[in-house]
Amino acid sequence: MKLSEEWKLLNLYEKFEKIICLILSFFVALIIICATYKLGSHIFVLFWQYGFDPLEHKSFKAIFGMIMIVLIALEFKHSIVKVIVDQESIVQVKTVLLIAILAISRKMIILDLKATKPIAIFSLAAVLLSLGLVYWLMRERDDRLFHMKRGKKRREKASTSEVHS
């Protein structure tokens, strides 16, 4: 179905939701472009002015942290675009979990272990493990549902081909 045909089928609130998602998608795209530019200029300055050593721990953490920010923003934009294109609901729990996992992973990567209390590190690790477990359980459920639907379609095809034989 064409986009214009789908648009006609939407009620007023669904159209409002799509328009807001388009605007948010545009804003997030601008943020991604700015962040990527800033990352590129930062790397350029590090290389040319300071002789950037990628093996130096502090520089590596800083650059990798910036890269993770861009990846988080890209995943966030992808979730907004899915709402527009795939007719999915606004709150996609798996995507929210994935973004949270990425954000906490970024925090763990850039964390200064010497200045951080062990309980804070343990807490972040526990949250990360919990989010990962919930994400895995949801993915397992979705995989099971997908295989059940696919098996049902195959059985329906087989039964209709037997009837026509």
Would the pLDDT of 149 be above 90? no
Residues 39-68, buried b or exposed e (16+ Cβ, 10 A)? beeebeebeeeeebeeeeeeeeeebeebbb
Confidence band of 164 (pLDDT split at 50, 70, 90): low
How far apart, in Å, do the first and last CA atoms of the chain sit?
Answer: 32
- Please report, for the chain, the start and end positions of each structural domain, with discontinuous segments joined by +: 1-92, 111-165
Long-range CB pairs of 87-93 (<8 Å, 24+ gap) are: 87/6, 90/17, 90/21, 93/138
Angle at 75 between CA 89 and CA 43, to 5 degrees: 160
Instruction: Report the C-alpha gap between 73 and 28 in whole angstroms.
Output: 7
The string of pLDDT tens digits covering residues 44-101 is: 888 787 776 767 777 778 888 899 999 999 988 988 888 777 766 666 788 889 999 9
72 burial level (CB within 10 Å; 0-12, 13-18, 19+): buried
Rounded to two decimals, the pTM is 0.70
Would the pLDDT of 40 be above 90? yes
The average pLDDT across 102-123 equals 91
Q: Which residue has the tokens 């943020």?
A: 31
pLDDT at 90: 63
Residue 110, helix vs strand vs coil = helix
Would the pLDDT of 18 be above 70? yes
Dihedral angle, C-alpha 41, 44, 49, 54, nearest 10 °: 120
